[in-house]
Every structure is written in structure tokens, then in C-alpha cells.
Amino acid sequence: MNEKVDFTSPMKILVSGIVILDYLTNTGLIPTTLYSTLMATSIISFYLFFSKKREGFSIYEIITLLLSSSFVVLNRDVSNFSLGLMWIFYFIFMKSKIDGRILLKYYAITASFCFSLSILLYYLIGFNKSSDMLMWRNGEGVTRLSLGFIQPNLTMMSFLGLIITFLYLSNQKRSQILLMILATIIVFDLTNSRTSGYILFLLLGVCFLVGKRIVSKAGRMLKWIVISLPLLLLAISIFMLKYPINESINSLLSGRILLYQSIYYDFGIHLIGNSAVKFTMLDTGYLQALIAKGILFSIFLGISFYYIFFKGRKSKSKLDYIVLAIYFLIAFTETSFFRFIVLLPILIISIIGVDNKSQTSM
């Protein structure tokens, strides 16, 4: 079991399959329950195949997966095993030989096709046009187009996953970054999805200004800033629940603080969560983990984040840490921790890494 197994070819299939499943559920073509079942079945099947190829199981892995499974039982919610699926990717990526650039290429090709097809169907036959929204912001109505998805925020989040992937595959060429900025302006103008949009503009702006230096090795300060970021955002989230509402900040967050406090007063925070919370509009990953899944799950989630994202591959670039920071920031106003359309490229980048000089063919 010490020798690493070459597992690039099987993972190409799994990556493409996960992307397709995500787009099917994000466009409403399959229900969430079927999506969760197919996702778990697919990833676990590949893990079993991987374990067979390396001729055995690891006790450490089995204990970790059993611990992840315990939250499914405690909270009576199958979606709690999403954290177990993250660990499976970690085990496979850490103990096999995989070309991260090839996986990102397959992600990019599959996601580009699905994203383009969704938009094409939206304009040709009005696919999911009923999901368009009219919101009241800053004293005026704002139209938000779904572009074929069941919610405009999902459109922008799917686009975010694509842009992150393109950034690595483009080797940070300024000409290509300009094209990404232009595409982001168009999608942002149509969806008016502020969180993912603003964060994307920040990411692309930094990459354009810094250029190829952004892939140089990151210093300890940046590493610890990013490690501390989810703790800071969790603390701010809890602070919003406990203290009087600031109307200006509440308005900036589209009335979220008032909504969060209302859900908090109804359900509270306990060691074991309440799965009914997921049917509310609690659209923040941090409070969703704390209220819906409980304190015990949140502690395990924090430990898992540290080991999966920061302990796996020691040497990371500045861009790697900035992308991780984006992942944590988006979850402040979106339930995005376990959305694989964003999580999958983050896992590939964080655990395997991408050789920016490599031009490996598929």
C-alpha cells in the first residue's frame, strides 16, 4: 500500500460525472435527493475501486469515514455525509499519482459545455425563465436572470468554478485574464449576483495586476491569514445573531441579518443540529453548519478543512491561498461549502496542485 497508484484516467471520468450531476441539479433536471444519492454512490464506488487497486484499506481512512457517517445518523440527514465525500477525495488525491492539470481540463471542458447549453436553452426555449427574479435593492427594482439555472446565484457560482479553472489553465496570461474579466462583467450584469461577482472581480483584478508572480510560493503570513479567515467569518456570523441589527449593513446584505436572527430564535444552536433548518432561507455556510448541523459537526468541519486544505500539500502558491480565501468568503453569504461545482476545482488545486509550466495533453 506504500506505492502510489496511477489514478488519473479513472478520476477524469469521475470529475466529468460530478460536473454533469451538479449542472443537472442546479438546473432542476433532477431532484436534490437523487443528486445526493448519485453523487455519494459515484464517489464511494471510485474509492472502493481505488482501494482495490492499491490492495487494501487504511484504518485511519475507515475511522474518518465512520466519524463522518455518524453525523448522518445523529442529524438524520444524508446530506451530512458531504464532508465524508470531501475526505474521500483527500484520500485518493494524497495516495495516488494524479495530474491535476488534466483533471482541471476535463472539468473545464465538461462545465463549459453544460454552462453554454444552459444559456442556449434559456434564450432559445425559455428554459428556467420562470426562475428570473425582480429584487428591490437600494430603492429600485433589479432584474436578475437565471440563464437556465434554478437561481441566479447558482448561475454565478457555476461561472465562478469555471473562471477559477481557466485561471490555472491559462497560466495567468494577462490577455486571457482580460477576456475572463469581460465575460464576468456580462454574466454579472445579467444575474446581479453580488457575492460571487464582486469576489470574482477582486480575484481577476489581483491576478491581472500581479501577473505571473502570483504563482510564486506563498509566505507564512498569507497562509495564516487564510487559515484564520473561516474562524473570523464564523465569529462575525455569530456576532450578527447576538447583537442589534445595523440597518445599513442589513440592507447591504439584502436583509440577511434580520432573517438569520429570526431563524436563530426559532431553532437555536445545539450540539446536534436540526435538519429542518435546511428548508429555510439560511443562505450562509457558517450558520448553516452551526444551526442546521450542530456544534459537533461544525468542530469536525473546521478540523477537516484544516487537514484537507492546509496539511495535504505543503508548498502552495499565493494564488492557491487566494482561491482558498475566496472559497471561505463566498460561504459567508452562500451555502457553498459542499457545492462541488466550486469545491471540486478547489480540492484539485489545494491537494494535488497544478503545474503552471506543464502542458500535458489529455
Distance from the Cα of residue 132 to its chain's centroid: 23
Residue 122 forms part of a structural domain: yes
pLDDT of residue 335: 87
**What is the average per-residue pLDDT within 330-342?**
91
pLDDT band at 280; cut points 50, 70, 90:
confident
pLDDT of residue 331: 93
- How much of the chain exceeds pLDDT 70, in percent? 94
**What is the average per-residue pLDDT within 231-249?**
84
pLDDT of residue 80: 83
**What is the average per-residue pLDDT within 91-95?**
93
Total Cβ atoms within 10 A of residue 316: 21
pLDDT of residue 356: 57
pLDDT band at 334; cut points 50, 70, 90:
confident
Indicate whether 358 pLDDT > 80: no
CA angle 216, 160, 201 (to 5 degrees): 70
- Give the position of cell 482580460: 178
270: helix, strand or coil: coil
- The amino acid at 14: L
Domain extent, residue 22, equals: 5-218+305-352
pLDDT of residue 139: 63
Among 116, 217, 112, 108, which Cα is nearest to 170's? 108
- How much of the chain exceeds pLDDT 90, in percent? 65
pLDDT tens sequence across 295-312:
999 999 999 999 999 987
Nearest-angstrom CA–CA distance, 254 and 275: 24
pLDDT of residue 361: 40
Indicate whether 25 pLDDT > 70: yes
Average pLDDT in the chain: 90
Nearest-angstrom CA–CA distance, 110 and 228: 34
Number of domains, the chain: 1
Indicate whether 140 pLDDT > 50: yes
pLDDT of residue 254: 67
Written as nine digits, the cell of 275 is 435538519
- The amino acid at 341: I
Residue 209 forms part of a structural domain: yes
**DSSP E strands, 146-295:** none
Residue 173 forms part of a structural domain: yes
pLDDT tens sequence across 13-22:
999 999 999 9
DSSP, residue by residue, 128-164? TGGG-EEEEETTEEEEE--TTSSSHHHHHHHHHHHHH
**What is the average per-residue pLDDT within 319-347?**
94
Residue 284 forms part of a structural domain: no
pLDDT band at 362; cut points 50, 70, 90:
very low
pLDDT of residue 261: 86
Indicate whether 138 pLDDT > 70: no
pLDDT of residue 297: 94
Judged by average pLDDT, the poorest of 100-109, 130-139, 177-186 is 130-139
Residue 223 forms part of a structural domain: no
pLDDT of residue 137: 67
Judged by average pLDDT, the poorest of 78-87, 98-107, 150-159 is 78-87
Indicate whether 131 pLDDT > 60: yes
Q: Would you give the DSSP letter of residue 355?
A: -
Residue 348 forms part of a structural domain: yes
pLDDT tens sequence across 177-212:
999 999 999 999 999 988 889 999 999 999 999 988
Q: Find the Cα–Cα–Cα–Cα dihedral 59, 61, 62, 64, rounded to 10°.
A: 120
Residue 282 forms part of a structural domain: no
Residue 279 forms part of a structural domain: no
Nearest-angstrom CA–CA distance, 227 and 221: 10
Indicate whether 158 pLDDT > 70: yes
Q: Find the Cα–Cα–Cα–Cα dihedral 57, 58, 59, 64, rounded to 10°.
A: -100
